Structure 1
Amino acid sequence: MGRAVYLPRAEEATIAALKRALGVLNAHLACNTYLVGHSVTLADIVMTMNLFLGFTHLMTKSFTLEFPHVERYFWTMVNQLNFKKIMGEVKQAESALPIPSKKPSQPKDAKPKAKDEPKKEAKKETDKEPAKPRAEAAEEEEAPKPKPKNPLDLLPPSKMVLDDWKRLYSNTKTNFREVAIKGFWDMYDPGGYPLWFCNYKYNEENTVSFATLNKVGGFLQRMDLACKYAFGKMLVIGSEPPFKVKGLWLFRGQEIPRFVIGECYDMELYEWKKVDISDEAQKERVNQMIENYEPFEGEPLLDAKCFK
């Protein structure tokens, strides 16, 4: 920013620290539309203002591509109506700020002496030396090998953008059926994201309400590894024990991802059935589960949890 003397090693350390911080934020936003809850809070306002200077002056598109969820979050925030009123149109930096070069000023009357020439040449060489660590730093940043891609990332593109659906679900507060449910079917892609019903195999054991709720909560926590590729609703049904646990899930790919089955042991505790959206009864059941409709299949809901 030109406010301090340029030191290549300091720049290298600062970039590394920035990437670590953005990596943590990116991981959190992979499963959350906002920092806290399902709508804009003071935390989002503060975070957006912290990111603003970086996006507009320092972090180019090639730099932020490594943090797609941070990108999505920042542009979602600055395009909110209230943000635009204050900040106007926001544009990302096209190039990083140039490094200021300070050359020592010489008196106008001073005449160069032959004896000084070797010193000047040596000085020029030392002036050029700081550029080497910068190049080395760039090489070190490029050195790490890319992480192997998840097989789901190699599937043909889907017209459904999962983050768009999660954002619509979170932001719809009224007229849910007319706005969120309609929006879901407008963007739904059965080829890229088939729907699945799940039913807990041992519902007769669900005799204590808080234990049943904890069981479902633990399942959703262990599903965090799939948040980039899934959306789910889990319903705990009934006013008296035994309580029934049923769910609706949207998974990337035509089958339930293998890494989810392998890592989340709860999966085998449920019976899974792919939804046939050509069946209007099944389609309406999907609507009711997304909407937390009551009574569901003739019974009240004890609780409804969302995975997104």
Structure 2
Amino acid sequence: MAVAGTLYTYPENWRAFKALIAAQYSGAAVKVLSTPPQFHFGQTNKTPEFLKKFPVGKVPAFEGEDGFCIFESNAIAHYVSSDELRGKSKEAAAQVLQWVSFADSDIVPPASTWVFPTLGIMQYNKQATEYAKEEVKRILTLLDCHLKTRTFLVGERITLADITVVCTLLWLYKQVLEPSFRQPYGNVNRWFVTCVNQPQFKAILGELKLCEKMAQFDAKRFAENQPRKESSKKEKTPKEEKKAEKKEEEKKPEPAEELDECDQVLAAEPKFKDPFADLPKSSFSMDEFKQKYSNEDTLKVALPHFWEHFDKDGWSIWYAEYRFPEELSQTFMSCNLITGMFQRLDKLRKNAFASVIVFGTNNDSSISGLWVFRGQELAFPLIPDWQVDYESYTWRKLEPDSEECQTLVREYFSWEGDFKHVGKAFNQGKIFK
């Protein structure tokens, strides 16, 4: 019986990717909670309720439907994997564990030392960075030699070894391994590209763009990420300074909480420029509607509020349908496909709302949904990161005053109705809020 449960994390956590990709292969039904209000990183994971289940308070953390709780990404990935991913024989299982350990002990440290300064979350140290580059070369050489006569790290099929090492190499391939640097490691490149282009990987990672130019340390960005210190309003006398120093010593402030490398990456995420900032001000408050939708009756409260306040000049409504229903197999995997899309659109939340539904049964299903966007055009082309999934759908703009639009809004927002345009039974749904 396949594992089922909830994974707590934050958006784009590469450690969580290991478990999510493994679940794509094994058939485990993993629900992801990564954004407010369901999960607020830095707050939810510090509550007594969370710490009772996961004493360390780290993410990712997994809670099974049977109540089983586990933390640490490698352990979670192992738990949601199939026997084939873990290694069918005793020897294969040991080899998988070998590469999983290798990723943490040999790849993560130099990768962090090299990549983090380019993300503005660590001070640049030339000597440390040069040493890290040499370590990365050593690792790539070792992997290249191993993969010279192999398609995958262990056996003839993808295992948890491949999933783990690929996820650990992600930041290197995205940030610093420019074509000239990675060129000598053809076997590694072939293996990496093969893996990330598998449907199970793409369902979680999307289309991965390899580094074109090696990222460098950005001193300005690093300075912006440092905590600001307020300057004193007046000069202190030597006596006042001595008194202040003594008082500071007595105070003994608690040390700041240390973040692991994943959390540091999240904390130092580049500041986001709102592509909707130049649009005329709208009278429709998406936040206000979402509060109604989340907390009150959909048909009696949320929908009347929506139509009473909807600004058809400042917002638009679109119907979307998945282009390739023949490729859909298990319905829970289709739901994971939608979840992955929503995760990659996290920064669009304030300017969009969507209800996307899977209709039908295993091997006979379809995906369609209704989207509300700020402005009169599709929002996806505004930001490259938003373009990963949208071309897999057909998009049709609806006229808000039409009977068709009114019906679709009612059915998709409430998950109730005839859905005559679909012709298949309602199965599962996902809401982007």
TM-score normalised by structure 1 residue count? 0.52
Shift of 1:202: 0.6
Matches within 5 A, 1:160-239: 160-172=284-296, 174=297, 176-239=298-361
Are 2:276 and 1:152 equivalent residues in the alignment? Answer: yes
Is the counterpart of residue 299 in structure 1 residue 424 in structure 2?
A: yes
Counterpart amino acid of 2:391?
E
Distance 1:279 1:295, change over 3 A: closer
For residues 130 and 270 of structure 1, the distance between their equivalents in structure 2, rounded to whole angstroms, comes to 67
**Secondary structure, aligned partner of 1:191:** coil
Deviation at 1:225, TM superposition (A): 2.6
Residues 197 and 274, structure 1, Cα contact 8 Å, conserved in 2: yes
Cα distance in 1, alignment partners of residues 377 and 243 from structure 2: 54
Letter in 2 for 1:268: E
Distance 1:261 1:232, change over 3 A: farther
**Closer, same or farther: CA 186–241 of 1 in aligned 2, 3 Å:** same
Residue range with higher mean Cα deviation, 295-304 or 272-281 = 295-304
Distance 2:282 2:372 in 1: 13
Identical pairs, percent:
30
Letter of the 1:187 counterpart: H
Tell me the secondary structure at the aligned position of residue 127 of structure 1: helix
Change in 2 beyond 3 A, CA 1:267/1:204? same
Alpha carbons of 1:208 and 1:34: their partners in 2 closer, same or farther (altered >3 Å)? closer
Call closer, same or farther: CA 1:211–1:252 in 2, change over 3 Å. same
> Aligned Cα RMSD in Å?
3.6
Task: Output one character per residue of 1:21-51: Cα deviation in whole Å (capped at 9) or x when no partner.
Answer: xxx9xxxxx9534657xxxxx9599xxxxxx
DSSP 3-state at the match of 2:367: strand
Measured in 2, the distance between the counterparts of 1:306 and 1:44 equals 28
The amino acid across from 1:307 in the alignment is F
Q: Deviations over 1:152-187 (max 9, x none)?
A: 122111111111111111001x4x212111111112
Could you say which residue in structure 2 is the equivalent of 1:269? 392
Question: 1:127 maps to which residue?
Answer: 240
Moved more, 267-276 or 202-211: 202-211
Q: Is the 8 A contact 2:275 2:382 kept in 1?
A: no
Decide whether the 8 Å contact of 2:329 with 2:363 is kept in 1. Answer: yes
Q: What are structure 1's unaligned runs of at least 5 residues? A: 1-23, 25-29, 37-41, 46-98, 100-122, 132-145
Q: CA deviation at 1:127?
A: 3.4
Cα distance in 1 between the residues matched to 2:390 and 2:382: 11
In the alignment, what sits opposite 1:32? 36
CA contact (8 A) 1:35 1:44 kept: no
SS where residue 276 of structure 2 aligns? helix
Decide whether the 8 Å contact of 1:223 with 1:264 is kept in 2: no
Structure with greater Cα Rg: 1
Letter paired with 1:154: D
Q: Distance in 2 between matches of 1:207 and 1:35?
A: 29
1:233–1:305 Cα contact (<8 Å) kept: yes
Give the drift of 1:148.
Answer: 7.2
Partner Cα distance (2:37, 2:313) in 1: 25
Structure 1 residues 187 and 269, CA, compared in 2 at 3 Å: closer, same or farther? same
> Secondary structure of the residue that 1:196 maps to in structure 2?
strand
Matched residues in 2 for 1:201 and 1:158: separation?
A: 33
Going from structure 1 to structure 2, the CA distance change for 1:274 and 1:162 (only over 3 Å counts) comes to same
- Structure 1 pair 234–130 and aligned structure 2 pair: CA distance change class (3 A): farther
Q: Residue 267 of structure 1: CA displacement?
A: 0.6
CA 1:288–1:130 in 2, change beyond 3 Å: closer, same or farther?
farther
Q: Write the distance in 2 (CA, Å) between the matches of 1:234 and 1:214.
A: 12
Q: How many Å separate the matches in 2 of 1:43 and 1:251?
A: 34
Structure 1 residue 233 displacement after superposition: 0.8
Distance (Å, rounded) in 1 between the aligned partners of 2:299 and 2:346: 27
Q: Which residue of 1 aligns with 2:366?
A: 244
Could you tell me which amino acid in structure 1 is paired with residue 424 of structure 2?
E
1:254 aligned counterpart, secondary structure: coil
- 1:249-264 equivalences in 2 (<5 Å): 249-257=371-379, 258-260=381-383, 263-264=386-387
Task: Please tell me whether the aligned partners of residues 205 and 242 of structure 1 are also in contact (alpha carbons under 8 angstroms).
Answer: no
2:315 aligns to what SS in structure 1? coil
CA contact (8 A) 1:195 1:249 kept: yes
Look up the equivalent residue of 1:162 and give its one-letter code. Answer: M
Q: Which amino acid aligns with 1:32?
A: P
Shift of residue 251, structure 1, vs aligned partner: 1.3
Q: Give me the whole-angstrom Cα distance separating, in 1, the residues matched to 2:291 and 2:386.
A: 27
Return the alpha-carbon distance in structure 1 between the equivalents of residues 327 and 337 of structure 2: 11
Contact 2:357 2:429 in 1 (8 A): yes
Counterpart code for 1:232: A
CA distance in 1, matches of 2:243, 2:272: 35
